[in-house]
Amino acid sequence: MGSRVVVLTGGSSGIGRAAALAFAARGDKLVLAARGLADLEKVAADCGGDVVVVPADVSVRPQVDDLARTALDAFGRIDVWADTAAVMAYGRFENLPPHVFDQVIATDLLGPANVARAALRVFRAQGHGTLILCSSLVGHITVPFMSAYATAKWGLRALTRTLRQETRDAPDIHVCELVPGSVDTPIYASAANYAGFVGRPPPPVDSAERMGAAIVRLADRPRPELSVGPANRLVEFGFAGLPPVYDALIGPLMSRLALSRRPAPPQDGNVFASTRRVEGGPARYGRTAMGAAAAGALALSGAAALALRRGLRSR
Ligand SMILES: NC(=O)c1ccc[n+]([C@@H]2O[C@H](COP(=O)([O-])OP(=O)(O)OC[C@H]3O[C@@H](n4cnc5c(N)ncnc54)[C@H](OP(=O)(O)O)[C@@H]3O)[C@@H](O)[C@H]2O)c1
Average pLDDT, the chain: 93
Contacts of 150 (CB under 8 A, 6+ apart): 138, 139, 141, 142, 143
| pLDDT score, position 155 | 98
For the stretch 11-52, pLDDT in tens is 999 999 999 999 999 999 999 999 999 999 999 999 998 999
Per-residue pLDDT band at 139 (split at 50, 70, 90): very high
Percent residues over pLDDT 90 in the chain: 86
How far, in Å, is the centroid of ligand 1 from the Cα of 233?
23
149 given a catalytic annotation: yes
| pLDDT score, position 292 | 63
Does residue 114's CB lie within 6 angstroms of at least one atom of ligand 1? Answer: no
| pLDDT score, position 311 | 61
Higher pLDDT, 276 or 24: 24
Distance in angstroms (rounded) separating the CA atoms of residues 9 and 84:
6
Find out whether 107 and 159 touch, Cβ atoms under 8 Å: no
Pocket test for ligand 1, best of 83, 103, 183 (most atoms within 8 A of CB): 183
Whole-prediction pTM value?
0.93
Contacts of 116 (CB under 8 A, 6+ apart): 131, 133, 159, 163, 175
Query: CA 66, 101, 158, 80 torsion: positive or negative?
Result: positive
Name the DSSP class of 180.
E
Domain containing residue 270: 5-313
For the stretch 47-71, pLDDT in tens is 998 999 999 999 999 999 999 999 9
Buried b (16+ CB within 10 A) or exposed e, 117-135: ebbbebbeeeeebbbbbbb
| pLDDT score, position 296 | 64
Tell me the CA distances in angstroms from 183 to 4, 54, 186, 203, one per residue in order: 27, 25, 9, 9
CATH number of residue 207's parent domain: 3.40.50.720
Residue range 63-81: mean pLDDT, rounded: 98
CA-based nearest residue to 134, from 196, 67, 185, 189: 185
Beta strand 259-263 with 197-199 is antiparallel
Does residue 12's CB lie within 6 angstroms of at least one atom of ligand 1? Answer: yes
How far, in Å, is the centroid of ligand 1 from the Cα of 86?
4
Pocket test for ligand 1, best of 12, 13, 272 (most atoms within 8 A of CB): 13
Find out whether 157 and 177 touch, Cβ atoms under 8 Å: yes
Distance in angstroms (rounded) separating the CA atoms of residues 62 and 11:
19
Going by alpha carbons, the residue nearest to atom 45 of ligand 1 is 84
| pLDDT score, position 153 | 98
| pLDDT score, position 306 | 63
Residue 64 three-state SS: helix
Find out whether 245 and 198 touch, Cβ atoms under 8 Å: no
Going by alpha carbons, the residue nearest to atom 21 of ligand 1 is 13
For residue 153, give the ligand 1 atom closest to its CA: 47
Q: Is the pLDDT of residue 159 over 70?
A: yes
Does residue 201's CB lie within 6 angstroms of at least one atom of ligand 1? Answer: yes
| pLDDT score, position 2 | 75
Per-residue pLDDT band at 280 (split at 50, 70, 90): very low
Name the DSSP class of 48.
-
Does residue 10's CB lie within 6 angstroms of at least one atom of ligand 1? Answer: yes
* Domains in the chain, number: 1
| pLDDT score, position 312 | 52
Q: Per the residue annotation, which of 90, 149, 194, 285 is the catalytic one? A: 149
